[in-house]
Amino acid sequence: MPRTPSTPRPAETRPRDADRSQKDILDAALREFADHGLGGARMDRIAERADVNKRLIYYYFESKESLFLAVLERAYESIRGEERQLSLSQVDPIEAIRRLIAFTWNYYIEHPEFLSLLGTENLHRARHLRRSTKVRSMHSPLVHTLAEVLERGHKAGLFRAGVDPVQLYISIAGLSYFYLGNCHTLSTIFDRDLMGAKARLERLSHMNDLVLGYLVRD
């Protein structure tokens, strides 16, 4: 008779166990999915990484696929949350564009799992995302902010006219995404270190030049 479930642990530590377990599971799953993709991820490893019983994962998250969706949703929530704090509307248009580029770049660098997750979800043709009402409703407020910045820049005679904010947003994201997401492949192919401090600064600089070189008219 080792464990006595009848003796409850102190009140202040217990109540949060459920939330804590769920968070641990999501954290572990994020790493696992990012490391191995959906097909390569192992529920066993997630349980081990989260230090919970495997059965518990099923208790909270129905299945592997649902768990993946939960992970994906949380990842989107997280980036959207940070995006909202950029306050692009409060700075001049050129600075706003710089900030957006830098934010995207840095977020991807600090959250490589996010890139992995995106890639995995795309391999599966957004199958999970499509099921999510959450993510769809959380579509980037950035597009609107970006539209406003472009408009402001044009009115100020700084930016060219007719720029589609969605296209630009995708371009900005793509410039960072391809470089960072494929850096292992690219480094190998070009036989050049792309992730050193200098290389990273050069890339950021190049992206700013590219985007602003396009946008700014004189």
Partner DNA sequence: TATGAATGAGAATTCATTCAT
Partner DNA sequence: TATGAATGAATTCTCATTCAT
- DSSP line for 23-79: HHHHHHHHHHHHHHHHHH--HHHHHHHHTS-HHHHHHHSSSHHHHHHHHHHHHHHHH
Q: Under the criterion CB under 7 A, does residue 28 sit at the interface with DNA? A: no
Q: Under the criterion CB under 7 A, does residue 52 sit at the interface with DNA? A: yes
The answer to whether residues 194 and 186 touch, using CB atoms and an 8 Å cutoff, is yes
* Closer residue to DNA, CB minimum distance, 60 or 107: 60
**What is the three-class DSSP state of 109?**
helix
Q: Give the interface size with DNA as a residue count (CB under 7 A).
A: 18
| Position among 11, 85, 191, 198 found at the interface with its own copies (CB under 8 A) | 191
Q: Under the criterion CB under 8 A, does residue 121 sit at the interface with its own copies? A: yes
> What are the structure tokens assigned to 44, written together?
């066993």
Q: Under the criterion CB under 8 A, does residue 95 sit at the interface with its own copies? A: no
| Position among 35, 44, 110, 202 found at the interface with DNA (CB under 7 A) | 44
Which one of 3-11, 21-29, 59-67, 131-139 is the stretch in contact with its own copies (CB under 8 A)? 131-139
Percent composition of the chain: helix, strand, coil (DSSP 3-state, to 5)? 75, 0, 25
Q: Under the criterion CB under 8 A, does residue 189 sit at the interface with its own copies? A: yes
What is d(CA 28, CA 22) in angstroms, rounded to the nearest whole number?
A: 10
Give the residue carrying structure tokens 């641990």. Answer: 24
* Closer residue to DNA, CB minimum distance, 29 or 172: 29
* Closer residue to DNA, CB minimum distance, 53 or 122: 53
* Closer residue to DNA, CB minimum distance, 18 or 170: 18
> What are the structure tokens assigned to 137, written together?
């409703």
Paired residues of 159 in beta bridges: 216
What is d(CA 169, CA 50) in angstroms, rounded to the nearest whole number?
A: 35
Paired residues of 216 in beta bridges: 159
Q: Under the criterion CB under 7 A, does residue 18 sit at the interface with DNA? A: yes
203 alpha carbon, distance to own chain's centre: 20
Query: Could you list the residues that contact its own copies (CB under 8 A)?
Result: 36-41, 116, 118-123, 125-126, 129-130, 135-136, 139-140, 143, 160, 164, 166-168, 170-171, 173-179, 181-192, 202-203, 206-207, 209-211, 213-215
Query: Could you list the residues that contact DNA (CB under 7 A)?
Result: 17-18, 20-21, 41-44, 52-56, 58-59, 63-65
